[in-house]
A and B are shown apart, each in its own frame.
Chain A
Amino acid sequence: DGGITQSPKYLFRKEGQNVTLSCEQNLNHDAMYWYRQDPGQGLRLIYYSQIVNDFQKGDIAEGYSVSREKKESFPLTVTSAQKNPTAFYLCASRGSGSYWTDTQYFGPGTRLTVL
C-alpha cells in the first residue's frame, strides 16, 4: 500500500530537549511538506522540500529544522528554540504533476506535548 507514515504517534518532550519527528513516503513523490496544526487554527506550513537535498522555510520555521537526504524521507527536528511546540504535526507529499491538478497526501500525524 502506498502512503505516508509518521512516527511516533505521540511524543513527549521535556524543556530544553530537541526531538525528531519521522516522515516516510513510498509514493515516489518529489515534494514533501511539514505542517503544524493548533486547535481552532488552520494548518501552518513549517518547511517544504521540492527535491532531494533542497528545502525552504515556510511561514513558521523558527525553532524547527529539517533534512532531505533521501527522496522518501523528510524528518523534522523540533529544537529547544521553539518555545511553544505542543501541537499536532502533519507531514504531506505531492507528486511532480501540475499545480493545477495535484493534491497533497497527508500522513496520520504526530502529537507532540511538552512536559
Chain B
Amino acid sequence: KQEVTQIPAALSVPEGENLVLNCSFTDSAIYNLQWFRQDPGKGLTSLLLIQSSQREQTSGRLNASLDKSSGRSTLYIAASQPGDSATYLCAVSNDYKLSFGAGTTVTVRA
C-alpha cells in the first residue's frame, strides 16, 4: 500500500524567505507526483504535476523536483508572499488512484 508522508506538518516564515516542502512515498511504481494547494475550507487546486520520467517541473515561483528511486519530492517556493499561506498537499498516482500526504500548512508572515 502506498504511504505518503509530508514533513514538516507546519511551517511559518517571514515574507520573502524561500519555502522548502518535502514529500516522501514508499512505492516508486508511480505514474506521476502532484502538488496541490488548499485554502482553509476550500477544495484543492493543482499546482504542478511531474511525470515519473521527469526530474522537475517549474511554474513561476514554484519548482518541484522528483527522485523516484529514493521516493522523494521537494516543492520550492521562491520569495514567499502572504498570499502563499495555505496547506500544500503532495499526491502520487498509481493508475486510477491518488494517494495523498497529510499536507504542510504554511504561514507567511508580513
Contact surface of A with B, Cβ cutoff 8 Å: 4, 6, 31, 40-45, 48, 50, 58, 88, 90, 92, 99-101, 103-109, 111
> What secondary structure prevails in chain B residues at the interface with A?
strand
Q: Which of A42, A58, A103 contacts B103 (CB 8 A)?
A: A42
Instruction: Using CB atoms and an 8 Å cutoff, list the residues of chain B in contact with chain A.
Output: 4, 9, 31-32, 34, 36, 41-46, 49, 51-53, 89, 91, 93, 95-103
Chain B residues positioned under 8 Å from A41 (CB to CB): 102
* Complex Cα spacing A99 to B36, Å: 17
CB distance from B88 to the nearest CB of A (A): 12
Residues of chain B with a CB closer than 8 A to A48's CB: 96-97
Q: Which residue of B lies closest to A10 (CB)?
A: B41
Residues of A contacting B43 in the complex (Cβ-Cβ under 8 angstroms): 4, 6, 90, 106-109
Extra 19 A-B pairs, beta carbons < 8 Å, given A45-B97, A45-B98 = A40-B9, A42-B91, A42-B101, A42-B103, A43-B44, A43-B89, A43-B91, A44-B100, A50-B96, A58-B97, A88-B41, A92-B44, A99-B95, A100-B32, A100-B51, A101-B49, A106-B45, A108-B42, A109-B43
